[in-house]
Amino acid sequence: MGASLACTSTSDAHPVEITSIDLAVLKIKKSIQRLEGSIDLLERDIHADGVEALRKRAQKVLAMNILRRRRARCALRERLSAHVLRLHEALVRFDSARADAETLEAMRLGNDAVERIVRETTDVESVMRDVERLRHWFEAANEGAILSDADVEEDFAELVRSEATARVAAGEVRDGKAMDTAESVLASMPSAPSEIHPTSGASVPSGEPRRRVAVAEDAG
């Protein structure tokens, strides 16, 4: 991102100058689009995990495993969202630089500031590698559990109660009956084991899942 580029417009004789800031802004906007696409996919998968966990409610251990996977995806979504926020903040900083002619000139003469901001905010590749590793791991682990997490029990209870509330809103059942049924379902289910090991026979690649999920649980 060194020298500025100059393009001559065919409509007039005035050159259109593309500065280092213009190039950085373009790169950041592309990164935002890429990350937001991944967030949309995660949102879809998180919703699907919730639906699947409710469908598997009769198999408590399996439902808990699905919700552990859902929690890991939620944590990853939050990390990507935070990165998108930083990128938007960088765009604001560049707009401010454009508005300040003196700052803009300083940044054009020495691009250290531009390059520093870009380094701080556009390390999208490392974030996307995390997404890809986690996606491959979900596929390999299939229905196997990772680590025990007591909060998953609360996630499951929340899903069951939310489903009951939705049924009341849809007029399918009365309020009291729906909640009584939900509490009965929760009370009748056995507790999940405190530690569950993968059942699919899939190997854990280089210890990555345990480390990633530990980070995910901290973020959750």
Residue 68's pLDDT is what? 85
Distance (Å, rounded) from C-alpha 25 to C-alpha 90?
8
Residue 48's pLDDT is what? 92
Distance (Å, rounded) from C-alpha 126 to C-alpha 131?
9
Strand, helix or coil for residue 199: coil
Encoding tokens for residue 99? 């508005």
pTM: 0.54
Distance (Å, rounded) from C-alpha 49 to C-alpha 209?
18
- Region for residue 201 given its phi and psi (left: phi exceeds 0; alpha: psi -120 to 50; beta: otherwise): left
Q: What is the residue-level pLDDT of the chain in tens, covering all 220 positions?
A: 444 444 544 555 556 677 677 777 888 888 889 889 989 999 999 999 988 988 887 787 888 888 888 888 888 888 889 888 988 888 887 777 666 655 555 555 555 656 666 666 556 666 666 666 666 555 554 444 444 556 667 777 777 777 767 766 766 666 655 555 555 555 555 444 433 333 333 333 444 444 444 444 444 4
Residue whose pair of structure tokens reads 């803009």 in the numeric block: 104
Quick one: DSSP state of residue 15?
Answer: E
Sequence spans of domains, the chain: 16-148+192-219
| Nearest partner of 71 among 194, 220, 207, 204, judged by Cα | 220
Encoding tokens for residue 92? 């604001």
Distance (Å, rounded) from C-alpha 78 to C-alpha 131?
12
Could you tell me how many residues make up the chain? Answer: 220
Distance (Å, rounded) from C-alpha 21 to C-alpha 98?
8
Residue 53's pLDDT is what? 86
DSSP sequence for 48-107? HHHHHHHHTTTSHHHHHHHHHHHHHHHHHHHHHHHHHHHHHHHHHHHHHHHH-HHHHHHH
Residue whose pair of structure tokens reads 């060194």 in the numeric block: 2
